[in-house]
Structure formats: structure tokens, C-alpha cells
């Protein structure tokens, strides 16, 4: 599932089920119906009895991006990857540390799932990195992590849409480049600091866009999703 060549807007949009109630998540999926193919399950839903949805959604023909950002000793990461992929996850995140990615790639060998390395969280800026003890800024750390993910044999990376254009030059055209922090024009940024509109993210080279609150918190989630898909389709058509 890497790369983006030939993929439609529906194959590129990932709706973040950023809710703390499994029944609410199931209701959103039912409301969105055939309009949406991909769903992201992160900590909030996973820890609210949402993990069984990975298998259920997969069996229903949906694709699940399990965003747990694994980071632990190598053996624990490997076993976690094996379990997650066994549930049917089509995408899975690990933090883009070389030893973590090596363990994940080894555990996923033979699977069709896409492993994604998380470079730098979209909620962080240079001041945050400095406070955490890093000796480089966001741009340099993202570049380093992207190169390490490419060299580790990962299926792609997760990065802010504002970093996408530069990262395409690093990872090439075949790897997935998944971008959270995507907000339709006029939407609130929330806790994201490096954001872009759907059209901007695609133009920069993103293969998949993660959109959560602008859809799931909308008065009419399906209408919100369809509006984003329409913007994405227009951007894809314009890019030729």
C-alpha cells in the first residue's frame, strides 16, 4: 500500500476516529458509509474498547491505519507488530528510531501491510524539540528520520504536510507519505502547529491525508467528508 500513483481521492483519505467511545466510532463509520475507505484508530479509541474494530472493519472491506506509534525494546516492538498485523491493520506506525524500525520491518516481513515511521509529531516545533534536549530543529530531525526510515526498508513515513515537498526528495516516489495536520480552509488548527489544506498537502506530495476532527466533529460528517474528497479530487485532476 505504499506510494500514491493512480490512487483516487477515496483511496487517499484516512478518517481519524478520534473519539473515546466505540459505539460513537461505529456510528460514524455507518454514517460515512461507502464514501470512506480508510479509518485511523489511535490511542483514544484503542483504549476505549476500539481495538476489536481493527478486525471488524477489515472484514467489512475497510482499511485500518492503526496509529499506536510503537516505541520500545526491539523484541517488544516485534511482538507488537506481529499482533497488530494479525488483527488486520493495513497501516501501522512506529517511532522512526533506527532500531525500532529494524525490529518492525523484520516482524512484518511477508506482510502486505505498510509500516510507517513517525518522524516528528505535527504538534511540535523547534522550541518543543529544544526543551526535549534535541540539538537540531524540526526540519533537520524530520530529514534525518525520513532517511533512516527509507534505509530501514519501511513502507513510508508520517510527517506534517508542510514537510511533504522536501521529504519527497528524500524518500522518492514509491514510499507512502501520510500527513496528519490536514485542515480544510477555515477549520481550527486545534493542537496542530504545522498544517495545510487537503489540496496543499496533495500538491506537496502526500500520498494519504489523515483528517479527524473536521469530519467526526462536524454537524454532518458525511457531508464534511464528501467536501474534502471533492477538494482532493479537484487537486488530483489539476496535477494531471
DSSP 3-state assignment of 225? Answer: helix
Best CA proximity match to 89, nearest among 44, 56, 118: 56
Rounded Cα distance between 24 and 44, Å, is: 12
Other residues' Cβ atoms within 10 Å of the Cβ of residue 111: 16
Ramachandran angles phi, psi of 36, nearest 5°: -120, 135
Of the candidates 1, 117, 93, the one whose C-alpha atom is nearest the C-alpha of residue 42 is 93
Give the span between the Cα atoms of 210 and 12, in whole angstroms: 9
- DSSP 8-state assignment for residue 49: I
Which residues have a catalytic role annotated? Answer: 69
Closest by Cα among 17, 122, 124 to 65: 17
User: Residue 37, class by beta-carbon neighbours within 10 Å (0-12 exposed, 13-18 middle, 19+ buried)?
Assistant: middle
Q: Which three cell numbers stand for residue 46?
A: 484503542
In whole angstroms, what separates CA 212 from the centre of its chain? Answer: 11
Q: Where are the alpha helices (DSSP H) in the chain?
A: 9-12, 22-32, 43-45, 52-59, 74-86, 98-108, 126-131, 138-152, 164-171, 198-204, 213-216, 221-239
Amino acid at each position: 500500500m505504499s506510494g500514491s500513483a493512480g490512487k483516487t481521492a477515496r483511496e487517499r483519505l484516512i478518517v481519524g476516529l478520534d473519539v473515546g467511545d466505540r459505539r460513537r466510532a461505529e456510528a460514524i463509520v455507518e454514517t460515512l458509509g461507502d464514501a470512506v475507505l480508510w479509518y485511523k484508530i489511535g490511542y483514544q479509541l484503542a483504549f476505549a474498547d476500539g481495538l476489536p474494530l481493527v478486525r471488524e472493519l477489515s472484514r467489512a472491506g475497510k482499511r485500518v491505519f492503526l496509529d499506536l506509534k510503537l516505541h520500545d525494546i526491539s523484541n517488544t516492538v516485534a511482538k507488537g507488530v506481529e499482533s497488530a498485523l494479525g488483527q488486520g491493520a493495513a497501516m501501522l506506525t512506529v517511532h522512526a528510531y533506527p532500531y525500532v524500525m529494524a525490529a518492525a520491518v523484520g516482524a512484518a516481513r511477508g506482510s502486505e501491510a505498510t509500516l510507517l515511521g513517525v518522524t516528528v509529531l505535527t504538534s511540535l516545533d523547534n522550541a518543543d524539540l529544544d526543551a526535549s534536549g534535541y540539538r537540531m530543529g524540526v526540519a533537520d530531525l524530520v530529514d534525518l528520520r525520513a532517511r533512516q526510515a527509507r534505509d530501514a526498508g519501511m513502507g513510508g513515513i508520517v510527517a506534517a504536510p508542510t514537510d511533504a515537498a522536501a521529504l519527497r526528495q528524500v524518500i522518492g516516489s514509491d514510499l507512502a507519505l501520510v500527513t496528519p495536520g490536514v485542515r480544510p480552509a477555515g477549520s481550527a488548527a486545534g493542537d496542530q502547529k504545522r498544517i495545510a489544506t487537503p489540496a496543499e498537502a496533495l500538491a506537496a506530495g502526500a500520498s494519504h491525508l489523515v483528517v479527524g476532527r473536521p469530519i467526526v466533529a462536524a454537524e454532518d460528517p458525511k457531508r464534511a467528508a464528501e467536501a474534502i474528497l471533492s477538494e482532493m479530487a479537484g487537486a488530483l485532476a489539476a496535477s494531471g
